[in-house]
Structure 1
Amino acid sequence: MRMEDVARKGPPADLRAWLAYLAERGKLAIAREGVALADELAAIAKRLERDSAVLFPRPDGHAIPVVANLFAGRDWVAESIGVTEDQLLPQLLAAASHPLPTHEVASGPVQEVVHEDIDLLRQLPVPKHNERDSGPYITAGLLIARNPKTGVQNVSIHRCQISGKNRIGVLLLPRHTFSYYRLAEELGQALEIAIVIGAHPALLLASQAIAALDEDEMAIAGALLGEPVDVVKCRTNSVRVPAHAEIVIEGRILQGVREPEGPFGEFPQYYGPRANREVIEVDAITHRKAPIFHTIVGGGFEHLILGGVPREATLLQHLRRSFPGVIDVRLTRGGTCRYHLAIKIDKANDGEPKNVMMCAFGAHYDIKQVIVVDKDVDISSCEEIEWAVATRFQADRDLMVVSGALGSKLDPTTDNGISAKMGLDATAPVSAPELAFKRIRVKGEEEVDLATALQADPSAAVARLLAGARA
């Protein structure tokens, strides 16, 4: 299927439709049966992470197959929501600005099978990913929580360690789920939650948007899909979950309970440390009759892409509110798609890049380094960004450092999350002479047709040249 066909037909209907689409394009590998859930599954997925999704039938003999590598590039992310790559960030921005509230239905495929006698590792094929991970982890589960006062839901992804037959250790960073948990504690309650595994790619993307508290990410997903997400009420609590997902774990984050969790391989490609963290007690598992379990290798390419692209959209929106000259943004892969941000601007005034940097640092605490470049720089190319720094940046004039700011607690260089921020103005001065920063180009390069410009049989041509030289 061609990219223009994707844009015409729209996004796939669910995870299964996305996998069928990948299979049609030769982008879905099928592993041999019986791959080990500990280490081996992740090792195979990691080898294929930039090329192919991979489905694992009967891992360790388990009846439920596992799939990994749903996103192997930005183009895959775009295709999953039925747009071209250049439409990706505008589409995400439009969805965040015009969300479609969910549509509640009485029943759905995700509740075809119900388990109330819980044994997580017997009932679900949960892999262990990185070498020093403390055990099996649910890594691609959408954790849905309800504001205990308003009922508004939040969707996010958290690392979830299987700690017992019906217990899950969960890392709650100081974001929206943690805010709901604190509200529940103030009310003397556990926080009702659900973990959704095997959701439509649009739901995964929406879960990573930098939305405001009490903005339901499932409504953003609905806008990406062009229709509201059908949701069904959980069997044991009040959380609403996508009716066409594969698997749902229903439970509660217990009030005042902390148990050891970690280490776990995280997106910076280091291990998040072991510590006492919040605990989920599982009350039920529901799933389709023949479900598919989605996993994300911690710190792998899918992890980075999934976290990076939706954040780019919300960062672009945030920056454009104050700086209409901002053209595009990119969270670079080398910066773990979280810490390093490149910003392309149509610069109108000297000094403007430093204001843009400060706005970016305020947009999300994870951002550690910002490089601002001119509109002639391709920010999808790390080589181009480095070229801009090499030729348009002077440290004594264009460097900005902010110390003692809040950063990511997963960055091992921080002091419990207290971090320095660095900004680099790699733009040319507005008043510079025309040729001082004019990029060189060879006239006619773009018009060259290599099919007609080059000989079809180079070896024969070389042989003739050598024969002529000997004569």
Structure 2
Amino acid sequence: MASDGGLARFLEAAGFERVEGEVEPEYGVTMLLAGGGGPLVFRVRGAPLDAGGNVVSARERVLQALGASSDAEAYEKLLRAMSSPEPLRFTGAPTLREAPRGLLDAPAVRFYEGEGGPYLTASVFIACWRGVCNASVHRVMVKGERVGVVRVVPRHLWRLYREAVGEGRDLPVTVVLGVHPAVLLAAASSPRLGVFELGVASALLGGLEVYESPVHGNPVPAGAGVVVEGWLTRETAPEGPFVDATGTLDKVREQPALRVEAAYYNPDGVSHVILPAGREHLMLMGFPREAQVWEAVSRVVPRVHAVRLTPASGGWLHAVIAIEKNHDGDAKNAILAAFAGHPSLKHVVVVSPDIDVDDPGDVEWAIATRFQADRDLVVVREARGSTLDPSAPEGFTTKLGLDATKPLGGGVEYEKATRIPGRGLVRVR
């Protein structure tokens, strides 16, 4: 059975806690979501629609959204969907109501001091131009009811936008909020140009119901909570500062201005607010890249046990990868494959399967006891990295890979003694 692609349906299945009263749009949402925990549903003061937050702030919620029981199954499902998208199932449009305050009703939220204004953070941009459709996640700095500024990195939406600008046109876009996490994960993935991310979401969900948007006729997930029709214009304006995944203020840039023609909300849906630098932000942004790293490294080693883009690195810049190896050189190949699979990576630590990739202390122990810099360090200088790293001017960085795996044939000196709880005994694993 096809899914309507709305967040409300996922929340009903996943369970949520409702927050009573109204939450202030200035810093109130941050205080509510910063504590983590499970999914919340709340009403931002002045908004006509409830919003969800912390929806997939835990890994198990991501697996639930993808219908998977393990990371490996989820990675495989996402990668398969990216290579084999499924057709969309068009249906009739739901009853939409006009959002009287436009973008402010989405709702727009100010999260941290020092930011350039209130933001939309769960906004999926859907654009079709010259036969190519794209869906991707972009933050919007809200300047007014019908004006925003959009951070567009040089990927597929940027290409469609530049093609439109090259023809002297603004790019028609439909912006939706309040979609199923599988739709967000698909929109955060990077299939080749021409693969429509909503088709990826359709493959993930076993079918995706969509309808044509009221102004542009772009496909919209049927259950989306908020629908905004507008243009990504040839005009630019300063965007930022904004606290991004690393927890640092991203710099101010000239970015395309969004001009809104119409804004609607679905009274049967909910909107979505993602806390910048919160665990949900890191999971949605990083999980598709974990899948790409898993695929790339799986090509060069016998088995990948785990991949983690670490929370302290914004779920983006650092990876810990647990592998099995046939040769002591396999870990170095894994490092290079990881850099190719996720070019924004800055540091990679490769460990043996006995190390818990979710325990920074265990990873540090592996570095302390199984790593020697003169033989186990990989350095790649002047490589393209990520503009999220403030120490990397224009995104150029030096990348490090650490082989902290147990040597093949290594003896008991490479094993870790642990206490058996309640028995006072020590065993060597």
Q: TM-score, normalised by structure 1?
A: 0.83
Amino acid at match of 2:103: L
Instruction: Map Cα deviations across residues 225-280 of structure 1 (whole Å, 9 max, x no partner).
Output: 12x2122222221422112211111111112x111111111100011122221111
Q: In structure 1, what is the equivalent of residue 51 of structure 2?
A: 66
Q: Is the 8 A contact 1:193 1:253 kept in 2?
A: yes
Matched, 1:240 2:239: no
Any residues of structure 2 matched to 1:334-349 within 5 Å, and which?
A: 334-349=312-327
User: 1:124-180 CA distances to partner (integer Å, 9 max, x unpaired)?
Assistant: 33211112222211101111222x23x232221111011123111011112111122
Distance of 2:261 and 2:154 partners within structure 1: 25
1:34 alignment partner, SS class: strand
Q: Contact (CA 8 Å) 1:118, 1:282: kept in 2 or not?
A: no
Query: What residue in structure 1 maps to residue 148 of structure 2?
Result: 168
Matches within 5 A, 1:285-324: 285-324=263-302
CA deviation vs aligned residue, 1:357-400 (integer Å, no higher than 9, x gap): 12221222211111111222222332222221111101122112
Give the SS at the match of 1:269. Answer: coil
* Higher relative contact order (CA closer than 8 Å, sequence separation 6+): 2
Q: SS where residue 304 of structure 1 aligns?
A: helix
* Structure (1 or 2) with the greater strand fraction: 2
Give 1:302 deviation, angstroms. Answer: 0.9
Corresponding residue for residue 103 of structure 2: 120
> Does structure 1 conserve the Cα–Cα contact (< 8 Å) formed by 2:106 and 2:120?
no
Letter in 2 for 1:67: G
Deviation of 1:408 after TM superposition, in Å, equals 1.1
Alignment partners' CA distance in 1, 2:3 and 2:63: 9
Q: Are positions 1:90 and 2:59 aligned together?
A: no
Task: Give the counterpart of 1:253 among 224, 227, 232.
Answer: 232
Between Structure 1 and Structure 2, how many residues are aligned?
A: 423
CA distance in 2, matches of 1:248, 1:158: 15
Residue aligning to 2:40: 54
- Residue 312 of structure 2 aligns to a residue whose secondary structure is coil
Tell me, in whole angstroms, the C-alpha distance in 1 between the residues paired with 2:182 and 2:197: 10
1:322 and 1:213, CA in 2 relative to 1: closer, same or farther beyond 3 A?
farther
**1:184 and 2:202 are equivalent in the alignment:** no
1:103 aligns with 2:89: yes
Q: Distance in 1 between the 2:149 and 2:406 partners?
A: 50
- Measure how far apart 1:403 and its partner are: 1.7
- Write the distance in 2 (CA, Å) between the matches of 1:82 and 1:347: 30
Between structure 1 and structure 2, the one with the greater Rg is 1
Aligned partner of 2:9 among 10, 17, 22: 17
Written as runs of structure 1 = structure 2, the 5 A alignment for 1:323-362 is 323-362=301-340
Considering only aligned residues, what root-mean-square deviation do their CA atoms show, in Å?
Answer: 2.5
* Contact preservation (8 Å) 1:192, 1:239: no
Deviation for aligned residue 1:30:
2.4
Counterpart of 1:35 in structure 2 is: 23
Q: Which amino acid aligns with 1:53?
A: P
Which whole-Å CA distance do the structure 2 matches of 1:65 and 1:284 have between them? 20
Choose from 412, 416, 423 the match for 1:435. Answer: 412
Aligned CA distance change for structure 1 residues 438 and 252 (closer, same or farther; 3 Å): same
Query: Aligned with 1:75: secondary structure?
Result: helix
Q: 1:150-169, aligned counterparts within 5 Å?
A: 151-169=131-149
Q: Secondary structure at the match of 1:312?
A: helix
Does structure 2 retain, via aligned residues, the 8 Å contact 1:211–1:217? yes
Shift of 1:108: 2.4
SS at match of 2:277: coil
2:354 and 2:2 map into 1 onto residues whose CA distance is 32
Q: Report if the CA contact (8 A) 1:10-1:83 is conserved.
A: no
**Structure 2 unaligned runs (5+)?**
425-429
Instruction: Give the distance between the partners of 1:174 and 1:197, measured in 2 at CA.
Output: 22
TM-score by length of 2: 0.91
| TM-aligned CA deviation for residue 186 of structure 1 | 2.3
